[in-house]
Structure 1
């Protein structure tokens, strides 16, 4: 599971920082999470192939989280994209994007699907054989969702030594990985457990930005391998966090600890601070495994 931070600063783009956008690679799929201004430039900078992005998840309709989307959609068109593109986000995102495309006389030569969200309860928004994605309802000034991405490891791993000792043909490998038993030529039934190892543990990634401190999300994100939680302010500005419906580093760490996650990645820093290391120092008074997001930073889990 690989996470690339394209941008992780709050409010406005600057020459040295970018607003929120992330790329999550999980089970050989790439998911774009939020799309602030400059996202496509960051994608190019990190040599990420545009045609591998088929699903975009937008948390909420504040500009620093989606103003880069219409530009990215237009660039896909100019590059003669043929793959379908699915956009998940709050109700209203379809109207906003289509209005801009119509006003500029633009169009897409590929299918563009919008999945508009309204529920205030957690719901599954995407699922295939490898990954399931559900919303994490957040508390912010406008309707906002985080997203929980979780692997689906249904296939067991082959014990090649055991299989070769029994001279089992390769044509049965897929059946074995799917959990099936094997019957030998003499009628002996070999249990699947004798031919395989258990599948790898399912990895999960919880994205939470922007939000007030809210313990109601804990049952949804509990035991996640990685939690990204906004930490716009330090504790000295906790009053601003409450006023603007954001979180502090201490609050992000508290959620991580109570949810028993393995790793906490923090971001969405206010640009009032000159040194983001202070966020880590504050958070580690509560939770040990703290990582700092920064533009261009990559994490592998």
Structure 2
């Protein structure tokens, strides 16, 4: 099953001609999810050939504009394209009111239903289907802010082809075997599950953490994830500013990644004061070597 992250925007508060505001698309199997929707997001969706009508769930981390100012425009475009499917918006209290005020004062009526789900607590289950579940991560910012943990569900075991014939496994027994049960044949013999099946692939996981100050409390929520996106707005030389604005440095992000034993770290949400992003790698890699820069338009496999 495919599990990948497409970076649409890696910048922070001020959009530039070379850097967009926060947004990314996460693809898990047949599902597409949009995380944050800064200004210009729908342009990047088009540039990267993402079919916006396939987006049914949008997750907004908090109510700073660089994370949601593109949302109403995207929703309007969905309407103009004749969308009929429900659109689920997951975000903090007040976001639904902002959306409704904009459309109401414009005299606009959407062609589809918007369903708002308030995000309000750590570890909150926001969405799940047969392939994946999405829960919240408590971040530390100036206003209520949550990250998102996207986890594949544990897959079923696979029955060996040769076991079907050897143990004459009937069709009605196969579902429970893939779920881990032993099989008792017609003679009353119990066949251990491990003789009939092979292990499934380990479920993968992705954590999105932006915006946040250095916060060790998130470690228990992201422990062992395969891929972590952690904001690194500043370098250590601007630590005082990072602390004042409740943002992180590249070194902060690397420390969190190391303590949480993640597979790989992606740095993003860069202040526009930094033109050369290699300095972020130079700061983070000595602490956590498996670190990359979030590049707009690039996909990262989980």
Which residue of the partner structure matches residue 9 of structure 1?
A: 11
Taking the aligned partners of 2:124 and 2:132, their CA distance within structure 1 comes to 14
* TM-score normalised over the length of structure 2: 0.93
Taking the aligned partners of 1:80 and 1:187, their CA distance within structure 2 comes to 60
Assess if the C-alpha contact under 8 Å between 2:155 and 2:201 holds in 1: no
Give the superposed CA RMSD: 1.8
Deviation at 1:32, TM superposition (A): 0.7
- The residue correspondences of 1:174-213 to structure 2 (distance < 5 A) are 174-184=175-185, 188-213=189-214
Comparing 10-19 with 94-103, greater Cα deviation is found at 10-19
Taking the aligned partners of 1:97 and 1:197, their CA distance within structure 2 comes to 49
Taking the aligned partners of 1:171 and 1:256, their CA distance within structure 2 comes to 45
Which residue of the partner structure matches residue 70 of structure 2?
A: 68
Deviation at 1:297, TM superposition (A): 1.3
Taking the aligned partners of 1:264 and 1:101, their CA distance within structure 2 comes to 38
Taking the aligned partners of 2:191 and 2:77, their CA distance within structure 1 comes to 54
Q: Tell whether 2:23 aligns with 1:21.
A: yes
Deviation at 1:41, TM superposition (A): 1.2
Assess if the C-alpha contact under 8 Å between 2:149 and 2:205 holds in 1: yes
Distance 1:217 1:87, change over 3 A: same
Which whole-Å deviations, capped at 9, do the CAs of 1:39-84 have from their partners, x for residues lacking one? Answer: 1111111111223211111000111100111111111112222222
Comparing 163-172 with 106-115, greater Cα deviation is found at 163-172
Distance 1:71 1:171, change over 3 A: farther
SS at match of 2:149: strand
- The residue correspondences of 1:1-301 to structure 2 (distance < 5 A) are 1-119=3-121, 121-166=122-167, 168=169, 173-184=174-185, 188-301=189-302
Comparing 80-89 with 54-63, greater Cα deviation is found at 80-89
Give the gaps of 5 or more residues in structure 1. Answer: none
Assess if the C-alpha contact under 8 Å between 1:23 and 1:32 holds in 2: yes
Assess if the C-alpha contact under 8 Å between 1:27 and 1:151 holds in 2: no
Assess if the C-alpha contact under 8 Å between 2:234 and 2:250 holds in 1: yes
Say how many residue pairs are matched: 300
Assess if the C-alpha contact under 8 Å between 1:231 and 1:249 holds in 2: yes
Taking the aligned partners of 1:35 and 1:216, their CA distance within structure 2 comes to 26
Give the gaps of 5 or more residues in structure 2. Answer: none
